[in-house]
Amino acid sequence: MAKALPASPVLLAPAGSLPAVEAALSAGADAVYVGVRSLSRGGRPGLPAAEVGAAVAACRRAGARLHAAVNIAPLAGGIAPFLAAVARLRDEGVEEVILNDIGVIALVRKEFPALPICASVGLSAMNPEDARAYRELGADAIVLPSAVLPEELPAIKEASGLRAEVFAWCRPEFLLHGKCGLTGYAVEGAEGVLVSPKRGESCHFVCRGLPVPREPRSLEEELSPWVAAGADVFKIEGRDLSPAAVTLLVGRFRRKLDLALSGSGGG
């Protein structure tokens, strides 16, 4: 049986393995998101398809939900197996999919009308018009880039009716979230063909060799304005984090968010 979303705001934690799922839940996550191998862009850590059911079961035991990042764009010949893979995730009990392509959102909404869809930060929705467009395509929620400010959030929610996810903690990006094309230009695949992480290839983090910011962006001391603005989900980036790192990060934000909700802290 599907687990309903808890009262907002939700603390959404990352996990790249079953131990990381358990770590996130033990630290107080309301929901966990994972990647699934072959369905997750950038070569980031993901669960084997055979472990998704175990992750769902762990979440349900904790009264939480499992979301899955399904953020590749399939080639034309790969649409049928892609939809079959999404169907397996739904049947295993995944309760929301995070999608990274407008055509894929429309396709998944048509094929799976009851499956909740979150439009990924990779789609770079910045304003009410963007958000409304994703709602019309079939999204139920949207992840906002870190460039969006809390005072912009009410208008986005009012125009679209979408649940709004904001990054409580994320790695710095010197470009708008979702707009990096460095890997596609810098890395060649078989026969010299340029490849893209959005086609399931690995991100080689070309940016790490550039003089760009290194410190993570954190809302740890700024949660209250976002709560007041109506943020529905506080998302932590980091599917490549170890279980120990997930425990520390999620536990810290759990405490800070609880303080912000009680009016005792968080900015």
Please write the tens of the pLDDT for every residue from 67-112.
Answer: 999 988 888 899 999 999 999 999 999 999 999 999 999 999 999 9
> Angle 8-257-264 (CA atoms, 0-180°, nearest 5)?
115
Residue range 114-136: mean pLDDT, rounded: 96
Cβ atoms 54, 19 nearer than 8 A = no
183, pLDDT greater than 60 = no
Tell me the pLDDT tens digit for each residue of 40-49.
765 566 899 9
Cβ atoms 120, 69 nearer than 8 A = yes
Please state, in angstroms and rounded to a whole number, the distance separating the CA atoms of residues 53 and 17.
Answer: 13
**In the numeric block, which tokens belong to residue 67?**
């979301």
Please state, in angstroms and rounded to a whole number, the distance separating the CA atoms of residues 228 and 150.
Answer: 9
Tell me the pLDDT tens digit for each residue of 198-224.
555 566 666 677 777 778 899 999 999
Cβ atoms 229, 166 nearer than 8 A = no
Whole-angstrom CA distances from 102 to 120, 142, 254 are: 10, 12, 32
Q: What is the pLDDT of residue 1?
A: 47
Beta-carbon contacts of residue 39 (< 8 Å; ≥ 6 apart): 46, 68, 69, 70, 71, 72, 82, 85, 200
Q: What is the pLDDT of residue 215?
A: 83
70-84, 115-129, 146-160, 201-215: the lowest-pLDDT one: 201-215
Strand-pairing partners, residue 31, are 12, 65
Peptide bond into 243 cis (omega under 30): no
176, pLDDT greater than 90 = no
